[in-house]
Chain A
Amino acid sequence: MNYRGPYRVRLDRNKPEPEILHPQDAIVRVTRSCICGSDLHLYHGLVPDTRVGTTFGHEFIGVVEELGPDVHNLKVGDQVMVPFNIACGACPFCKQQLFGNCHESNTMATAVGGIFGYSHTAGGYDGGQAEYVRVPYADVGPVVIPANMDPDDAVLLTDVVPTGYQAAEMGGIKPGDTVVVFGAGPIGIMAAKCAWLFGAGRVIVIDHYEYRLEFVRQYAQCEAYNFREMRDPVLTIKKMTGWLGADVCIDAVGCEAAGSALQTITGRKLMLQAGSATALHWAVNSVKKGGIVSVVGVYGPTDNLVPMGNILNKGLTLRANQASVKRLLPKLIEHVQAGRLNPKGIITHRVPLEEVSEAYHIFSSKLDNCIKTVLIPSARA
């Protein structure tokens, strides 16, 4: 996969195969990779330093083909899931399990750790929407896929499930809490599903795509409402939650939110702010006083219009981070194996890697009721 500019990607058969560049590198032959909702921010040209020629893809699994001399925990032929964060395991942040905030994987920026295929702002690594990928720190990130695990479940454990789970975890949900999730994309769907694991008493999802609302009602056994049918989503949520607001609000949308003309024009069209912060704005205003807002939606590196005064006056706790995939994997593997989570249930499209440009367009334009797309390098899978 080769990025050519906003809304333009193509298959590139001439890109050189990756090589071992560091003693802790591995080369992984990809067997499944996904298109993530946050890949769309790159695809739409919203992430600074997204260079033409880059290969996207931070959700992938594959087979270890080659190992650097300092990799001891893997062997050639292992089937591995590779967390989307590149983490060294040695810096103060990794040592404290903040694997999404590694300080030794991104030369280009300090605010974000290295991420596969996510622009030069996230380290300039080629990603997994390819046949082969270079995986740095192979002793730290990759986890061998349990023998009985479906590869479609495994690939979703590299980002979607941990991010959705951490969204709920950061919400500090207490038994009986009302949780409102903004966004019924893959992450929002998973956050809604995971909210039950923490003892939520009521889970409400807000979006504007009817097919996604219908999907999340079934998949996550929750309530789901279309904000296009509300004059004021915040007021509606207040009324639905006994006028005090939700106990926990989760922003699972990020910088391409719809629903506010001002945010859309200044954030997405004119790029005067780091994307449209409509979902975050609603989350802050819909949560109760002393409540918690959990943010996993991706925003750009500059500034956003958010009601900071309300965060202060309501005494809110704002929690946010890239998911620490490696920290969460043992628990999440257990949840999948126990049948509490069914990641592959959100996959709607399985597409050969050769059709990557079509797959991006379908996902970006929400065609064919698309929720989650898995790319399969067809020759080898």
Chain B
Amino acid sequence: MENKHAPYAEIKGWGVDADPRNEPTYPMKHYTGDDHKRLHYDRPTQQEGDIELLMSIERPSRSAVFGTSVPPSGLSGAIRRLAFKFSESEYGHWLPLLLADRINVVEGIIQDISHGKLPNLIEELGLRGEWTYNRKGLAKRVAITTAVTAGTIALLMWRSSSKKKNKGWRKWLR
């Protein structure tokens, strides 16, 4: 779509009430009018590099510099590529990215294991800090987790054994 301005100078009364003091962004913004030049400014040198970079579809080209931290890969990467087909205004952009983040966590664990490393959850969760400063809270949390886990296992075992018993009854009734 063409970016064109109306012939505003011909409009009766054009600009008569313009007040440069009516600028609620001051002092954050030192207004120069440069916004009106849109993308016609001297851009910094473009960063080179052939890493895969996902780009917002709300811009025509890469920013002059960009981060190279973790290029997309695996299933999470495929979902991220899909997300970048939508604008930043759409849930189709952000929700798949959140999903990809969760999948990426599992990929990270698989990657660790494939490199012969089991994630040290006690260290990664920083639980030594909990042990040092909130021993009571940690004990409470461990007790609750243990109780819930034990309860769940007991329930599952009871259900599977009662299923077996029911099967026996049904067989006998037939």
A residues apposed to B, CB below 8 Å:
4-10, 21-25, 45, 48-55, 70, 86, 88, 90-93, 95-98, 103-111, 114, 120-121, 123-126, 136-137, 166, 169-170, 271, 300-302, 317, 319, 321, 324, 327, 357-362, 365, 367-368
Q: Would A114 and B65 count as touching, CB distance under 8 A?
A: yes
Kindly state the separation between the CA atoms of A55 and B69 in the bound complex, as whole angstroms: 8
Q: Taking CB as reference atom, which chain A residue is nearest B37?
A: A92
Residues of B within 8 Å of A120, CB to CB, are: 54, 67, 69-70
Q: Would A124 and B66 count as touching, CB distance under 8 A?
A: yes
Kindly state the separation between the CA atoms of A93 and B36 in the bound complex, as whole angstroms: 11
Kindly state the separation between the CA atoms of A302 and B89 in the bound complex, as whole angstroms: 8
Shortest distance in angstroms between A135's beta carbon and chain B's nearest beta carbon? 10
Interface string of B72-95 (1 = CB under 8 A from A): 100010001000100010010010
Residues of A within 8 Å of B126, CB to CB, are: 9, 357-362
Residue from the list A48, A107, A321 in contact with B59, Cβ < 8 A? A107
Kindly state the separation between the CA atoms of A93 and B107 in the bound complex, as whole angstroms: 38
Kindly state the separation between the CA atoms of A189 and B37 in the bound complex, as whole angstroms: 39
B21 on the A face (CB < 8 A): no
Shortest distance in angstroms between A321's beta carbon and chain B's nearest beta carbon? 6
Residues of B within 8 Å of A170, CB to CB, are: 28
Residues of B within 8 Å of A166, CB to CB, are: 28
Residues of A within 8 Å of B70, CB to CB, are: 51-54, 120, 124
Residue from the list A48, A90, A92, A136 in contact with B101, Cβ < 8 A? A48
B22 on the A face (CB < 8 A): no
Q: How many A-B residue pairs have CB under 8 A?
A: 196
Residues of B within 8 Å of A121, CB to CB, are: 97
Could you name 17 residue pairs across A and B whose Cβ atoms are closer than 8 Å? A5-B108, A7-B125, A10-B124, A51-B69, A51-B101, A52-B70, A88-B64, A97-B28, A103-B63, A106-B66, A107-B63, A108-B54, A108-B55, A120-B70, A169-B27, A300-B94, A361-B125
Which 7 pairs of residues, A with B, have the shortest CB-CB distance? A361-B126, A124-B67, A5-B105, A125-B67, A52-B108, A48-B97, A92-B34
Kindly state the separation between the CA atoms of A120 and B98 in the bound complex, as whole angstroms: 12
Residues of B within 8 Å of A50, CB to CB, are: 101
Kindly state the separation between the CA atoms of A110 and B60 in the bound complex, as whole angstroms: 11
Residue from the list A45, A96, A103 in contact with B30, Cβ < 8 A? A96
Residue from the list A123, A319, A367 in contact with B129, Cβ < 8 A? A367
Residues of B within 8 Å of A92, CB to CB, are: 32, 34-35, 37-38, 41
Q: Would A271 and B98 count as touching, CB distance under 8 A?
A: yes
Residues of A within 8 Å of B20, CB to CB, are: none
Interface string of B28-65 (1 = CB under 8 A from A): 11111011011001111101110001111011001111
Given contacts A136-B65, A321-B28, A357-B124, contact A104 B88 (CB under 8 A): no
Kindly state the separation between the CA atoms of A121 and B100 in the bound complex, as whole angstroms: 13
Residues of B within 8 Å of A360, CB to CB, are: 126
Kindly state the separation between the CA atoms of A120 and B42 in the bound complex, as whole angstroms: 26
Residues of A within 8 Å of B43, CB to CB, are: 90-91, 104
Q: Would A367 and B32 count as touching, CB distance under 8 A?
A: no
Residues of B within 8 Å of A108, CB to CB, are: 53-56, 84
Q: Would A53 and B69 count as touching, CB distance under 8 A?
A: yes
Q: Would B133 and A368 count as touching, CB distance under 8 A?
A: yes
Shortest distance in angstroms between B3's beta carbon and chain A's nearest beta carbon? 15
Shortest distance in angstroms between A69's beta carbon and chain B's nearest beta carbon? 10
Q: Would B64 and A48 count as touching, CB distance under 8 A?
A: no
Q: Would B66 and A367 count as touching, CB distance under 8 A?
A: no
Q: Would B55 and A107 count as touching, CB distance under 8 A?
A: yes
Q: Taking CB as reference atom, which chain A residue is nearest B27?
A: A169
Kindly state the separation between the CA atoms of A121 and B68 in the bound complex, as whole angstroms: 13
Kindly state the separation between the CA atoms of A120 and B28 in the bound complex, as whole angstroms: 26
Residues of A within 8 Å of B167, CB to CB, are: none
B134 on the A face (CB < 8 A): yes
Given contacts A104-B44, A319-B24, A365-B130, contact A111 B88 (CB under 8 A): yes
Given contacts A109-B56, A111-B88, A166-B28, contact A125 B69 (CB under 8 A): yes
Q: Would A53 and B108 count as touching, CB distance under 8 A?
A: yes
B151 on the A face (CB < 8 A): no
Residues of A within 8 Å of B48, CB to CB, are: 21
Residues of B within 8 Å of A9, CB to CB, are: 124, 126
Residues of A within 8 Å of B55, CB to CB, are: 107-108
Q: Would B34 and A22 count as touching, CB distance under 8 A?
A: no
Shortest distance in angstroms between A259's beta carbon and chain B's nearest beta carbon? 21
B140 on the A face (CB < 8 A): no
Q: Which of B103-118 contact A (CB under 8 A)?
A: 104-105, 107-108
Residues of B within 8 Å of A361, CB to CB, are: 125-127, 129-130
Kindly state the separation between the CA atoms of A358 and B44 in the bound complex, as whole angstroms: 40
Q: Taking CB as reference atom, which chain A residue is nearest B65?
A: A136
